[in-house]
Amino acid sequence: MAKPGPKPKPSNVHYLNGNPSKKNLGALMDSLQPEIEIPGCPPHLLPEAKKEFRRITPELQRYGLISKLDRAALSLYLQSWAELVWAEKMLKRKMDAAAKAMQQAEAEGKEYTGGDGMVEMTTNGNVIYSPYWIIANKSRHNVDKFLQNFGMSPSARSRVTPSNHLQGSLFEPEAGEESPTGFGAI
* Residue 31: predicted pLDDT: 59
Q: What is the mean pLDDT of the chain?
A: 82
pTM of the complete model: 0.69
Q: Quick check: 160 pLDDT over 50?
A: yes
d(CA 103, CA 122): 21
User: Residue 179 pLDDT > 60, yes or no?
Assistant: no
From residue 23, alpha-carbon distances to 14, 17, 100, 161 in Å are 9, 12, 63, 19
Of 1 and 70, the structure prediction assigns the larger pLDDT to 70
| pLDDT bracket for residue 159 (50, 70, 90) | confident
Share of the chain above pLDDT 70, in %: 71
Q: Does residue 120 have a pLDDT over 50?
A: yes
| Residue with the larger pLDDT of the pair 178 and 53 | 53
Using one digit for the tens of pLDDT, what is the confidence trace for 78-115?
999 999 999 999 999 999 999 999 999 999 999 998 89
Res 163: pLDDT: 73
Question: What's residue 186's pLDDT?
Answer: 39
Give 160's contacts (C-beta < 8 A, 6+ positions apart). Answer: 65, 150, 151
pLDDT above 90 as % of the chain: 56
Model confidence at 9: pLDDT above 90 = no
Measured on CA atoms in the order 97, 101, 106, 111, is the torsion positive or negative? Answer: negative
Q: What does the DSSP 8-state code read for residue 42?
A: P
Q: Give the mean pLDDT of 74-79.
A: 96
Q: How many Å apart are CA 153 and CA 157, to the nearest integer? A: 6
Asked if residue 168 has pLDDT above 60, the reply is: no
